[in-house]
Amino acid sequence: MAELTTLEEKLAEVLGLAQAAQKATEKVEGLVDDESIAENLRRMREEAEETERRCTEAADSRNGKKTAILEKAQETKGEATEMMDTYLGDDADGLDGLEFMTMAEAGEVGHWAVLQKLNEQAGEEQIAELTRWALPIQERHLSETKECALQLAGEKDPYEES
């Protein structure tokens, strides 16, 4: 198996998180009744699909490293999905789901910012373009999931038995 550089490892991680985000948005969509929140989650899933596509394209153009990058991404996806399954048990409701999404999106923002920072030294144009595209989208995902969580929290009866 080809050895990955730090830059490639970070590319694999954002790819794995984009794959995990597709599962997370689908699961959380199943927990919410609010149609506008569900619509939001669907849009996020489409953007996660596009992120996966662009990351895979970037992995494609790295000589002989594609398989190793995809394998590392698979590992990251597995870890993120495990976290989701731990956090969202059978009794999880829509608010729990959106809270999980804020953690997942914050994780994506952090990882994309790290990749962008690493690439300041590397100066690879393809990675620069990818992070310029992805980082604002992840930041929007984080603020949108927080907004949605707060909407659901605002509709909750704080004294209801949970």
- By CB under 5 A, name the binding residues for Fe ion: 21, 105, 108, 138, 141
Residue 15 CB, nearest approach to Fe ion (Å) = 12
Between 76 and 138, name the residue whose CB sits nearer to Fe ion. 138
Residue 63 CB, nearest approach to Fe ion (Å) = 29
Between 29 and 68, name the residue whose CB sits nearer to Fe ion. 29
Residue 161 CB, nearest approach to Fe ion (Å) = 33
Between 45 and 62, name the residue whose CB sits nearer to Fe ion. 45
Between 102 and 119, name the residue whose CB sits nearer to Fe ion. 102
Residue 103 CB, nearest approach to Fe ion (Å) = 11
Name the residue whose CB lies closest to Fe ion.
141
Write the secondary structure of the chain as one string of H (helix), E (strand) and C (coil): CCCCCHHHHHHHHHHHHHHHHHHHHHHHHCCCCCHHHHHHHHHHHHHHHHHHHHHHHHHHCCCCCHHHHHHHHHHHHHHHHHHHHHHCCCCCCHHHHHHHHHHHHHHHHHHHHHHHHHHHHHCCHHHHHHHHHHHHHHHHHHHHHHHHHHHHHHHCCCCCCC
